[in-house]
Structure 1
Amino acid sequence: MNANFLIALREGLEVSLVIGFLLITLIQSKKNHLIKSVIYGTIFGVIVSIFAGFFLFSTFGDLNANLEHTIEGIIQLIAALLIFYFVYWLSGQSSINISDKLKSEVKIKDNNFSLFLMASVFVIREGLELVLFVLSNAQTIEFVGMIAILLGILTAILIAYLFIKTTINLNIKVIFTLLGILLIFFGGKVFTEGIFSFVDASSLVEQIVYYAFVVISLFVLFKNNILSFFKK
């Protein structure tokens, strides 16, 4: 499965859920006059993220080979750490906790500008994370990669819609866990490439580091299940 699709799905899902919860809360609170501010803020955030992406991609491409190699290695390590943090955070969450966390992002204010700013900042934050992840997988920045990102975002919107409409029937923890498993293997790849962009090593050592990242991350993700199994 295309790594860009998974990354866009992960980031797009969180944005879609938060913006969706925000719109639903406004409707339930009978504050429909504030909905436009959220929509405009979301659109503004998407536009800023797109321009930031183009700027970073073009800047990245204009660097000399040595500097580009160094920056790519740093970005890959940061991306791997972000994936590990997501796995660590997910390991301690239930579906209820995840929903509460997402809903906690929604702080309703009777102010058009505040809602516009909140929506745009949240979208830009996640958009920049998406750009960072895609840059860490720089060799896939091409037409197919862009299509994969678009499909990932559209899939995220669909899942968020289904989750909000059928909260009881759709287990968001399962979706995030499946994403976490798939992202762990991508994280192992960029972590290994990031480290060995600075250090020379044999292919065997690279394989050991890759599988170490994957195994440790999978253990962290399922540590509660593993510990409860041995306690029985």
Structure 2
Amino acid sequence: MLVPFLIMLREGVEAALIVGIIASYLKQTGRGQWMPAMWIGVFLAITLALLVGGGLELVSAEFPQKQQELFEGVVGLIAVGILSSMVFWMRKVARSIKHSLHVSLDHALTGSRHQVIALIAMVFFAVAREGLETVFFLLAVFQQSEGPSAPIGALLGLVLAIIIGFLIYTGSMRLNLSAFFRWTGLFILVVAAGILANSVQALHEAGLWNHLQTVLFDISATLPMDGPLGSVLAGMFGYQDAPTISTLGAYLIYLLVALVMFFLPSAAPVKQSSSVSSQ
């Protein structure tokens, strides 16, 4: 439950922050008449994310076993790529996101003859990116978990993200975005390493990857994956009680490279304070 909760919280806060900044800027610059167009863009982006997620889930349910494993492996690899790029992109732009959105909004409303369409498109692409990132991650997590805990965690994260977004918009909360995205990003990289290891295992079970399958150790008698603690570790970090060279190697190599890149000093210019309120 914790993994989908934190991911949905992070992605939800990011999306709510984008919408809040745009809405606040429209109000502050006397462009309140454009608010309906903004909400149309938000609605279209949410609809796209739901359609993509629902469509992929329905299609995959009809696959036979090997195709199911292949689908799980491919979705996992896509999720790892998206999560990694999301973490490093937000690490770079967290402090300048407000300025960037203001510039994009001004361009949409002054640099186009079709202002309504330009504003809808600008909001749509900004929010849709967050929605599609979330869809692929949740698909990867849901495929590797059982029971209702993962969907419940995602729902709770979304609800809290909406509340935080509203409080930021009304000025009732100032969120240190730099710290928020730094710590959640670090957690996401560890989770992504587990998803990568499970994806390698899924590709093996699908018959596409049969190299380096020697089991390094087996602690299933001590900490089984289907036990209380093992299932929690498996759901959160991709724990395997009998990892192979390929799965453990993928986990460690990814995590080492990602953490080194994560802790390297960022060269991004600081455009605003890291404590952000949308007003």
TM-score clears 0.5: yes
1:154 corresponding residue in structure 2: 159
CA distance in 2, matches of 1:121, 1:87: 18
CA distance in 2, matches of 1:153, 1:36: 23
1:115 corresponding residue in structure 2: 119
2:253 corresponding residue in structure 1: 212
Residue 99 of structure 1 deviates from its aligned partner by 4.0
1:185 corresponding residue in structure 2: 190
Residue 116 of structure 1 deviates from its aligned partner by 2.5
Residue 101 of structure 1 deviates from its aligned partner by 4.5
CA distance in 1, matches of 2:129, 2:87: 19
For the pair shown, the structure with the greater C-alpha radius of gyration is 2
Seen in structure 2, the aligned counterparts of structure 1 residues 125 and 218 have a Cα distance that, compared at 3 Å, is same
CA distance in 2, matches of 1:208, 1:139: 19
Residue 57 of structure 1 deviates from its aligned partner by 0.8
CA distance in 1, matches of 2:9, 2:99: 20
User: Does the CA contact (< 8 Å) of 1:26 and 1:34 recur in 2?
Assistant: yes
Residue 208 of structure 1 deviates from its aligned partner by 4.0
Residue 81 of structure 1 deviates from its aligned partner by 2.0
The residue identity in structure 2 corresponding to 1:174 is A
CA distance in 1, matches of 2:148, 2:133: 20
1:39 corresponding residue in structure 2: 39
1:58 corresponding residue in structure 2: 58
User: Does the CA contact (< 8 Å) of 1:163 and 1:170 recur in 2?
Assistant: yes
Residue 63 of structure 1 deviates from its aligned partner by 1.2
What are the ranges of 5 or more consecutive residues in structure 2 without an aligned counterpart? 204-208, 216-242, 267-279
The residue identity in structure 1 corresponding to 2:153 is A
Residue 21 of structure 1 deviates from its aligned partner by 1.0
The residue identity in structure 2 corresponding to 1:184 is L
User: Does the CA contact (< 8 Å) of 1:90 and 1:221 recur in 2?
Assistant: no
TM-score w.r.t. the length of structure 2 is 0.70
What are the ranges of 5 or more consecutive residues in structure 1 without an aligned counterpart? 226-232
Seen in structure 2, the aligned counterparts of structure 1 residues 128 and 183 have a Cα distance that, compared at 3 Å, is same
Q: SS at the partner of 2:33?
A: helix
Seen in structure 2, the aligned counterparts of structure 1 residues 106 and 167 have a Cα distance that, compared at 3 Å, is farther
**1:79 and 2:76 equivalent?**
no
The residue identity in structure 2 corresponding to 1:17 is L
User: Does the CA contact (< 8 Å) of 1:76 and 1:190 recur in 2?
Assistant: yes
CA distance in 1, matches of 2:151, 2:174: 32
RMSD: 2.7
1:230 corresponding residue in structure 2: none
CA distance in 2, matches of 1:214, 1:40: 39
Higher helix fraction (1 or 2): 1
Seen in structure 2, the aligned counterparts of structure 1 residues 65 and 106 have a Cα distance that, compared at 3 Å, is farther
Q: How many residues align?
A: 224
TM-score w.r.t. the length of structure 1 is 0.82
CA distance in 2, matches of 1:150, 1:135: 14
1:171 corresponding residue in structure 2: 176
Residue 157 of structure 1 deviates from its aligned partner by 2.7
User: Does the CA contact (< 8 Å) of 1:10 and 1:156 recur in 2?
Assistant: yes
Structure with more contact order per residue of length (Cα contacts < 8 Å, sep ≥ 6): 1
1:228 corresponding residue in structure 2: none
User: Does the CA contact (< 8 Å) of 1:18 and 1:106 recur in 2?
Assistant: no
CA displacement 1:195-231 (0-9 Å, x = unmatched): 2333352215233432332233222111229xxxxxx
CA displacement 1:76-95 (0-9 Å, x = unmatched): 112112222234335545x5
User: Does the CA contact (< 8 Å) of 1:87 and 1:217 recur in 2?
Assistant: no
CA distance in 2, matches of 1:113, 1:35: 13
Residue 166 of structure 1 deviates from its aligned partner by 5.5
